[in-house]
Amino acid sequence: MLVAIGGDPSPIAAKQATSSIPIVFGMGGDPIKAGLVQSFNRPGGNVTGVSILTNQLEAKRFGLLRELVPGLPLMGMLINRDFRPAAVQLEEVEKAARTVNQRIVVATASNDEELTAAFEKLIAAHVGALLVAAAPFFDTKRDRIVNFAADQRLPAIYQFREYASAGGLLSYGVSLTDGYRQFGTYAASILNGANPATLPVQQSIKFELVLNLKTARALKLDIPPTLLALADEVIE
């Protein structure tokens, strides 16, 4: 059995490598569009797993950031266009922005040099807040991105609680702990004889909203009571 997690390329590579060895995946994108399974209810073949929805929450993050910073003239979005789900991420945010007449500036980066250029673009545009789209590359540059937002005094939202723990203002996304528990449960089922072709693809069921009040105070932001009430964790 193979367990393929850590980003969409891993399960895709595993699927290409074998059609007989059972595979349990964990991915942020759509496993049907990726060609991994035939359907969520009946995967077929040798692959099943958990869709953890990390790449499908940008519109929600957009809304939370606007709730935190109402009346925002211009929002920045940092996205990795080389990341497979990037087109869908951008489409979601642009659609949400049109609905509320929110202007956005999109900066793209897939390596260190491009990240520097993206920061320069956001500074030149004088954005008032920053939405960091989900992408594994950004996770590897977490501290650099969080420090940029702090230096520019930008309210910013990210996908994982680790960003908020590192000093980021706000994060909203799936609970990785719960996701890994789901991976482990399916791996155990297959080791005990279950057929991956008949194990429905699961989806994340636990989401976390994390607020860093220390960062909010540094930015002189008042957190709306409604947002505080929704928070699963508040970092003092």
pLDDT for the residue 84: 81
Q: What is the CA radius of gyration of the chain?
A: 19
- Within a 10 A sphere around the Cβ of 43, how many other Cβ atoms? 24
Q: What is the pLDDT of residue 6?
A: 64
Residue 109 lies in a domain: yes
Query: Which residues of the chain have a pLDDT value below 50?
Result: none
What is the C-alpha to C-alpha distance for residues 101 and 99, in angstroms, rounded to an integer?
Answer: 6
Q: How far apart are CA 105 and CA 220, in angstroms?
A: 24
Is 71 in the same domain as 136? yes
- The strand order across the sheet containing 47-51 reads 2-4, 23-27, 47-51, 202-203
| Domain span at 92 | 58-159
20 and 106 fall within a common domain: no
Report the distance separating Cα 122 and Cα 151, nearest Å: 13
pLDDT in tens, 202-212: 887 788 999 99
**Does a structural domain hold residue 213?**
no
pTM over 0.85: no
What does the alpha-carbon distance between residue 156 and residue 168 come to, in Å, rounded to a whole number?
7
Indicate if 127 and 68 belong to the same structural domain. Answer: yes
Structural domain includes residue 93: yes
Pair 201, 155 in one domain: no
In CATH, what number is assigned to the domain containing residue 186?
3.40.50.2300
Examine the domain organization and report whether 110 and 149 are in the same domain: yes
pLDDT for residue 55: 67
Identify any residues that bridge with 157 across adjacent strands, giving them in sequence order.
131, 170
User: Locate tokens 């673009």: which residue?
Assistant: 121
Q: Phi and psi for 195 in degrees, rounded to 5?
A: -95, 120
Burial of 6 (0-12, 13-18, 19+ CB in 10 A): exposed
Residues 78, 37 within the same domain: no
Domain boundary among the residues 104, 127, 159 is at: 159
Instruction: Return the amino acid letter for 186.
Output: Y
Residue 211, in any domain of the structure: no
Q: In whole angstroms, what is the distance from residue 141 CA to residue 53 CA?
A: 21
- Residues 129, 38 share a domain: no
Q: What are phi and psi of 49, to 5 degrees?
A: 165, -145
